[in-house]
Amino acid sequence: MLSDPERQAVTHFLHMEARLADEARYAEWLALWTDDGVYWVPATTDPGADPEKHLSHIYDNRGRIETRVKMLQSGFRYSQEPASLMRRLVSNIEIDRAENGELVAHSNFILAELSVQAKHEMHWWVGRMTHRLRRVDGALKMCAKKVVLVNAAEPLPNLTFLL
Amino acid sequence: MSRESGAPVRYDALVRDDRIHASLYTDPRIFADEMERIFHRGWVFVGHESEVPRAGDFITRPLGMQPAIMVRGSDGHVSVLLNRCMHRGTMVCAAERGTARTFACPYHGWTYDLNGDLLGVPYPGGYDASFDKSARGLARAPRLASYRGFVFASLSPAGITLEEHLGKAVKLIDRSCDLSPEGDIELTAGWVKHRCAANWKTLPENDSDGYHLGFVHRALFNTVRSQYQSVVGDERTIKAVVRDWGGGHIEIDWSPGYQGRFEWFGGAPESLVADYVGRMERRYGSARAQQLIFEGPAHALIFPNLFLGETNVAIVQPISVDECVHWHTPIFWKGVPEFNSRLLRQSEAGMGPASFLMPEDLAIAARNHAGLQAQHVEWLELSRGLNRETMDAEGRLVSHVTDETINRALWKHYRTVMTSA
């Protein structure tokens, strides 16, 4: 069982992470990751997807997460230049404790992205997230984030904002 | 250049040797002509045999604008069937891939075998003896041929053979397949599909454009080192070239600029490749193996819709005059499973909507398509490199990697196809 303060801390983390992503606060978002962080966006909704056998949209280790952020900060990431305007809702949060003590949060999200790089178009993104969180020096950090889009296997427009 | 509706488009007037007309990207009637003449008449890449390894395995995929099924029959042969019930036109198969024993239409239960032959019709009392089941099999692409597992189909019963269509460009396919010590590739990682708000011809042109890298991909080059670094320096020091293979097949060859082997693989630790190099030398001999490993896989368009994207295979799918989709999957070289993890990660870095390269290409493609709506300005430039391209000993035009030699090659072939009756 999770204590109420733990539950509140995880919920707060998910809401904060969503806000930092929405507002393109890249450095603060990057600081939420542990050094062994893995950021995974499968290209299928198949629960049996294996990133060592199947192509993913994103399967970043910490180094690649940093590359992703640096590109967004460079001013030349034209697929996010200017940055999309975004707001997302995170809901249906369920939290478990893994055997190693890490906290595992499952949630659903809806994200409205106004893409403003060529045509101004609203894109709706919907999916399920799994965060693995660990305390590092007292603060919660992400050591894994998996995002399964409902349309993961469909033709997708640019997905270079922070999902 | 406005024309009366109904008048045929004069493609020879729109495609000039040094410029092209903007309507080629924006006119819906031209798009309709292209689907008919290029995608529904000519040879089009459908899929790779490794995607349907066993009898009954199928994939569904568009053939131009038409829904098709590529299926391996019980006799082991691959067919391309149109995914349309012969009764009332319903798609008989909705899955993107799978294994089937029959295709049963969900509407009235007409059932076909893996060859498309009609097996049975429910309530047969409604038809008399003149009802000929053998004439009501699923329509199949009248011509089908493959080269090294790449399956191409044509919806026209007549025309040039696949061999004639590919011509010398089979060497480009060889270059990619020969990196396997068993001589085969496997496309089993699944496809990522990237939506693009631009005309479909933007994709083959951009995939083969060596001029844009230092500009469009500046964010990546400013952030990390990659194998493309050598082509964003001073114009005179760039050694990579473009080549026109004829038939609309065009290539960027980075290898003249490579400093060492496996540069196309982002370098490779000895521990990963030692065994592989040995097996390559045993199969091809030392000289050829070292050449293959140095040059790497092809970066080439096989007209009109197959892009050999170095360690990836990509498909160009037209949707409408204003939209297309770029599909990609990593090449797995048979006999080298130890490369697969890296190939997956390399693929995710380069291509797809969340990658580090293609999103910029498609963002710029969308801006390009938006800009082309300024039809007060009629023409696009196509002259770069006319002053320095040369013919090589094999009859291919070659030029500096930033030159529009291969755009001209693509458009010249396009004009030939579009003006043929």
Question: What is the value of pTM for the model shown?
Answer: 0.96
Measured between alpha carbons, how far is B249 from B166 in angstroms, rounded to an integer? 8
Residues from chain A contacting residue B330 (CB–CB below 8 Å) = 55
What are B303-342's pLDDT values in tens digits?
999 999 999 999 999 999 999 999 999 999 999 999 999 9
What are A54-112's pLDDT values in tens digits?
999 999 999 999 999 999 999 999 999 999 999 999 999 999 999 999 999 999 999 99
Instruction: Indicate yes or no: CB of B195 within 8 angstroms of CB of A156.
Output: yes
Question: Is there a domain that residue A159 lies in?
Answer: no
Angle between helices B270-284 and B286-295 (to 10 degrees): 130
Residue B362 has its nearest CB partner, among A53, A74, A158, at A158
B96 touches chain A (CB under 8 A): yes
Q: Which domain holds residue A29?
A: 4-149
> Tokens in use for B48?
């790779």
Question: Is there a domain that residue A112 lies in?
Answer: yes
CATH architecture of B167-419: Alpha-Beta Complex (3.90)
Residues from chain B contacting residue A120 (CB–CB below 8 Å) = none
B61 touches chain A (CB under 8 A): no
Q: Is B230's pLDDT higher than 80?
A: no
Q: Phi-psi bin for B265: left (phi > 0), alpha (psi -120 to 50), beta?
A: alpha
Question: Is there a domain that residue A160 lies in?
Answer: no
Measured between alpha carbons, how far is A57 from A153 in angstroms, rounded to an integer? 10
pLDDT at A21: 98
CATH class of this structure's domain B44-159: mainly beta
Residues from chain B contacting residue A53 (CB–CB below 8 Å) = 188-189, 340
Residue A76 has its nearest CB partner, among B219, B325, B349, at B219
A57 touches chain B (CB under 8 A): yes
Question: Is there a domain that residue A154 lies in?
Answer: no
What are B281-292's pLDDT values in tens digits?
999 999 999 999
Residues from chain B contacting residue A75 (CB–CB below 8 Å) = 219
Residues from chain B contacting residue A67 (CB–CB below 8 Å) = 223-224, 356
Instruction: Indicate yes or no: CB of B340 within 8 angstroms of CB of A44.
Output: no
Shortest CA gap A2–chain B (Å): 35
What CATH number corresponds to the domain at position A145? 3.10.450.50
Pairing of strands A33-42, A139-149: parallel
Instruction: Indicate yes or no: CB of B360 within 8 angstroms of CB of A118.
Output: no
A–B interface: beta-carbon pairs under 8 A: 110
Examine residue B124 and say whether the peptide bond preceding it is cis (omega within 30 degrees of 0): no
Q: Is B1's pLDDT higher than 60?
A: no
E strands, B53-100, are 57-63, 66-72, 78-82, 97-99
Of A153, A163, A155, the residue nearest B194 (C-alpha): A155
Residues from chain B contacting residue A163 (CB–CB below 8 Å) = 354
B380 touches chain A (CB under 8 A): no
Which residues does A1 contact at the CB level (< 8 Å), separation at least 6?
none
**Number of structural domains in chain A:** 1
Shortest CA gap B151–chain A (Å): 22
Instruction: Give the domain ranges of chain B.
Output: 44-159, 167-419
User: Which of A145-154, B144-153, B205-214 is the least confident region?
Assistant: B205-214
Q: Is B193's pLDDT higher than 70?
A: yes
Do B44-159 and B167-419 come out as alike in CATH topology? no
A154 touches chain B (CB under 8 A): yes
Q: Which helix (H) or strand (E) holds B308?
A: strand B306-309
Which of B186, B196, B206, B223 should be substituted to probe chain A, the one whose Cβ sees the most A Cβ atoms within 10 Å? B223
B191 touches chain A (CB under 8 A): yes
Question: Is there a domain that residue A163 lies in?
Answer: no
